[in-house]
Amino acid sequence: MKTSEFLKGLAVSVWTGTVHLFRHRMTSMYPETQNYPNTEMYAYDPKKGVAVSGWRGRHYLDMSKCTGCQLCFIACENIAEAIEMIPVPEAAHAQNKKSIYPGVDYGRCVFCGFCVDACPFYALYMTPVAEISEMNRNDLYYSPVELSVPPVPNPAPKVHVNFDKKRGSHDER
């Protein structure tokens, strides 16, 4: 490499790095703000056979629609074995004769969403809440009753990325 070439390359790269000092920060300030690419619920329409795009996070179970048909359990059986059918005798819903509902173990679930695709009765959804962490492993297990409560979203303001031609990207509320 010639000396002139060396110096030119050095100048170009040092200059590029220096310019970056004045650009916007790339990172989001999580958890003060949060950036979910998609804030809809992931749902499946068994009539059309196509899902509605949404974030695949924690499940939501509509107990008034679930018939206990176990199709979600069968779908998950060979994927992660995360779903277990639990008898919930106190839930009196006529359409569920056996009173069994799916419970999900989030220590195993891989959030693939194929259980939602398997449900023929519009009973299972996935919500845009994925912040599931517990101090105790057993708490990762969600019973049907817990799943039927809509999750509390993180109260931090939602932001999205805005691109600026000159100064890079930044979060915008």
Partner 1 sequence: MSANTESNPEMLAGVFQQEEAPEGRLKVSFGPQHPGSGHMRIILTVNGDIVEDAVPDVGYVHRGVEKMCEYKNYIQNIPHIERPAIHDSSGTIFPYILAVERLLDMTEKVPERAQYIRVIMAELNRMINHFYFFGILGIFMGHTTPITWGMGDRDYLIDVAASATGARVTFSYFVPGGVRTDLPYGFEDKLLKTCDYLESRIPAYKAYLEENPFARMRLTGVGVIKRSDAVALGLAGPTLRGSGVKSDVRKDEPYSLYDTLEFNIPTREEGDAMARMMVHFEEVKESLSIVRQAAKKLRPGPVKVPLRGQIRGKVGEAYARTEGARGMNSYYIISDGQIHPYRVRVNTGDSRNLAAMRPVLIGGKVADVPVAHWSLDYWPVASDR
Q: Amino acid identity of 92?
A: A
Sign of CA dihedral 86, 89, 94, 97: positive
- Among 1-9, 29-37, 105-113, 162-170, the segment contacting ligand SF4 (CB under 6 A): 105-113
Indicate which of ligand SF4, partner 1, none lies near residue 33 (CB less than 5 to 8 Å, by partner kind): none
- What's the DSSP call for residue 44? E
Q: Give yes or no for residue 33 binding partner 1 (CB under 8 A).
A: no
- Among 16-24, 59-67, 85-93, 135-143, the segment contacting partner 1 (CB under 8 A): 16-24
What are φ and ψ of residue 35, in 5° steps? Answer: -125, 95
Indicate which of partner 1, ligand SF4, none lies near residue 154 (CB less than 5 to 8 Å, by partner kind): none
- What's the DSSP call for residue 34? B
Q: Give yes or no for residue 124 binding ligand SF4 (CB under 6 A).
A: yes
On the 0-12 / 13-18 / 19+ scale of CB atoms within 10 A, 18 is exposed
The C-alpha atoms of residue 44 and residue 16 are separated, in whole angstroms, by 47
Indicate which of ligand SF4, partner 1, none lies near residue 129 (CB less than 5 to 8 Å, by partner kind): none
The C-alpha atoms of residue 4 and residue 20 are separated, in whole angstroms, by 25
What are φ and ψ of residue 19, in 5° steps? Answer: -60, -30
Nearest distance in Å: CB 58, partner 1:
12
Q: Are 103 and 86 in contact (CB under 8 A)?
A: yes
Indicate which of partner 1, ligand SF4, none lies near residue 88 (CB less than 5 to 8 Å, by partner kind): none
Which residue ranges make up the site for ligand SF4 (CB under 6 A)?
66-72, 75-76, 79-80, 82-83, 102, 104, 109-115, 118-119, 121, 123-124
Which residue ranges make up the site for partner 1 (CB under 8 A)?
1, 5-6, 8-10, 12-13, 15-17, 20, 26-27, 35, 37-38, 40, 42, 48-56, 75, 78-80, 110-114, 117, 126, 161, 163, 165, 168-169
